[in-house]
Structure 1
């Protein structure tokens, strides 16, 4: 199943996240992408915080819609153009139910593993992994098809980490190397008897000098060539059952040129 779900409310004000997703959709020009409508509940500047989560009602309404759509279609694979990272709780939890012990590769500058009560921003895109672990806001648990374990999480490009997130990573020794080592990542996954993977790709994992059209710019990131090599190695060694491209904010198709290889590798058959 191919999904276009440009959720921005999980990032707070979400400037250019929705049009950025639309730019990738236009670039791909693939009619198979199903458009999941967003909520009309006030969000962003006029949003309301509940349970320490900004825009809570808008997020939960549209994620409920996304869950129903996936549940109805029962896809074997999911490719998502987004949107902010908070949307991942639905496709990842669905595929985890379908493929037990799925490996989750989190290409991201940020750990996205805060609890709402610990989050400095109260923006949900910093909470999806904690939610998927079943340790987030309990009122959001009905949005999940299943919960994951910490051993399934593998970070690539991680470098901007809150103290509470680092504590959670350390607690279960979650895979989070300072530098990418593709061979070590492949070996680690195989040692856990992982056969199926979900590739989450937030473009802020990349070095801004390579690509800076991202919602956040974090220095000392992953080079595009290394990201492409890593994705290629993972596709060669494992069965990719899900992938996403998230938080690119350019509204000009020509500015996608540097990341075309990544988009094509993750979104095309």
Structure 2
């Protein structure tokens, strides 16, 4: 099942994420993407913060809509154009329930594993992994189809980590290498007897001098070519049952050209 879900409210005020997602959708030129409507509740600068999460009501309303659609359609695979990283709690937890041997590959400059009480920004796109671990805001638990384990998380391109996030990564022995080693990643997954993967791809994992049309930019990221090679190797060695492309903000078709292969590898 292919999903278009331009959620931006998890980024706080990043409304440019929504047209950025639409640009990726238009770039692919496919009509088979199922649109998840966004909440009409006020968000952004007029949004309300609840439980230390900005735009809480808008986020939970539309994420529940997403979950109900997946439960109704019961897809075997899910490919999502988004949107901010907070939307991932729905497809990952859904596929994790269906495939108990699921590995989660988190291509991202950021750890996204804060608890609401530890987040300086209170933006939900920095909290999805902690939520999926069952350690986030408990009132969001009904949005999850299952919870994952720390051993299922594997970071690629991670380099901007809050202190509370680093503590959780260290205590959970979460795979978070300083540099990408594709063979080591494949070997690690094989040793864990993981056979199916979810590939989360936030474009800020990339080196900004290669691609800078992202909501956040962090230096010393992945080269585009390295990201392509990693995705290709993961697809070759494992069954990819879910994938996403998230947080690109350009609306210009020509500016998407550098990441065209990544988009096609993950969405087609």
TM-score with structure 2 setting the length: 1.00
> Secondary structure at the residue paired with 1:142?
helix
In 2, Cα distance between the equivalents of 1:14 and 1:132?
Answer: 23
Residue 205 of structure 1 pairs with residue 205 of structure 2? yes
In 1, Cα distance between the equivalents of 2:214 and 2:172?
Answer: 30
Ranges of 4+ aligned residues in structure 1 off by more than 6 Å: none
> Secondary structure at the residue paired with 2:197?
strand
Identify the residue that residue 45 of structure 1 maps to in structure 2. Answer: 45
> Secondary structure at the residue paired with 1:30?
coil
Please give the residue correspondences for 1:133-144 in structure 2 after superposition, counting only pairs within 5 Å: 133-144=133-144
Residue 184 of structure 1 pairs with residue 178 of structure 2? no
Q: How far apart are residue 212 of structure 1 and its match?
A: 0.2
Please give the residue correspondences for 1:106-255 in structure 2 after superposition, counting only pairs within 5 Å: 106-255=106-255
Q: How far apart are residue 172 of structure 1 and its match?
A: 1.2
> Secondary structure at the residue paired with 2:54?
coil
> Secondary structure at the residue paired with 1:242?
strand
Residue 102 of structure 1 pairs with residue 102 of structure 2? yes
Number of equivalences = 268
RMSD (Å) for aligned C-alpha atoms: 0.4
User: Unaligned 5+ residue runs, structure 1?
Assistant: none
TM-score with structure 1 setting the length: 0.99
Q: How far apart are residue 236 of structure 1 and its match?
A: 0.2
Q: How far apart are residue 65 of structure 1 and its match?
A: 0.4
> Secondary structure at the residue paired with 2:79?
strand
In 2, Cα distance between the equivalents of 1:97 and 1:172?
Answer: 21
Identify the residue that residue 261 of structure 2 maps to in structure 1. Answer: 261
1:163-220 alpha-carbon deviations (Å, 9 max, x no partner):
0000000001100000000000000000000000000000000000000000000000
